[in-house]
Amino acid sequence: MTIRLLLCCLFALPTVVLADASDGQFMGYELGTKYPASPQDVEVMTTGNLLFEAENPAKPADIVQVSVITTPGSQTIGYIIAASWYETEEDAREAGRRYLGLLRAKYPDWGLGREVMDESLRIVEVNLDKAPYNLQLRLVRDEYESHSMWRFSMGLGWDRESRELRAWQNQSAAEYAAARATEHEQLVEEADTRGL
């Protein structure tokens, strides 16, 4: 009877509580799903992809901002980023150490590796991998609210060798090419092309 009650309670929990990075979900969003946002909230990246500041993330209190990177047409999510800014490098590193410990405890079967060092041989990036996903923790000097600060970020994306990443990149490139072709056609249709 106790086991049945426990199972009923477990299945009654909202899926957000049960969701995690092992399912491609992070900060209330899911890789490969469409991000529902209005066009005015967007920044167009040099790749043609769109960068949205997430409007309704599920995040820890000390995370300042959650952003998603999507394809340009269908707004399919390919990367989810959570970030906070700190006055000092040591404060940012402390946040990074805390979250690395938490993520290692939550995802013990994810491989730790691919560390990146800066010119002073200090670690500025750590990756946790479990195919097809990658959790990346980074520390960089950044501008925030007109101040030079230290940015600590965590991002969930697909592993760089995964077919899911290649499929998302191909979808993004196709959507970007289609949008550019439409723009060019519209430009020619609306322009005075006499003698050209």
pLDDT in tens, the chain (196 residues): 444 443 344 344 333 345 599 999 999 999 999 998 776 677 888 788 999 999 889 999 999 999 999 999 999 999 999 999 999 999 999 999 999 999 999 999 999 978 888 888 888 899 999 999 999 999 999 888 888 999 999 999 999 899 999 999 999 999 998 877 666 556 556 666 665 6
Rounded distance between C-alpha atoms, residue 186 and residue 181, angstroms? 9
Tell me if the bond preceding 36 is cis, omega within 30° of 0. Answer: no
In a domain, 105, yes or no: yes
Find how far residue 35's CA is from the centre of its chain. 12
Q: Are 144 and 85 in contact (CB under 8 A)?
A: yes
In a domain, 154, yes or no: yes
Find how far residue 155's CA is from the centre of its chain. 5
In a domain, 4, yes or no: no
Rounded distance between C-alpha atoms, residue 79 and residue 26, angstroms? 9
Number of domains making up the chain: 1
Measured CA distances, 154 to 37, 91, 97, 164, 175 (Å)? 22, 15, 12, 20, 27
Cα torsion 107, 104, 83, 150 to 10°: value is -170
In a domain, 173, yes or no: yes
In a domain, 25, yes or no: yes
Rounded distance between C-alpha atoms, residue 130 and residue 158, angstroms? 9
In a domain, 58, yes or no: yes
In a domain, 1, yes or no: no
In a domain, 125, yes or no: yes
Q: Which pLDDT does position 10 carry in this prediction?
A: 39
Q: Which pLDDT does position 146 carry in this prediction?
A: 86
Q: Which pLDDT does position 119 carry in this prediction?
A: 84
Prediction pTM value: 0.81
Reference 74, options 47, 50, 46, 107; nearest CA is 50
Q: Are 64 and 153 in contact (CB under 8 A)?
A: no
Which range marks the domain in which residue 49 is found? 15-188
Rounded distance between C-alpha atoms, residue 52 and residue 68, angstroms? 5
Rounded distance between C-alpha atoms, residue 85 and residue 122, angstroms? 19
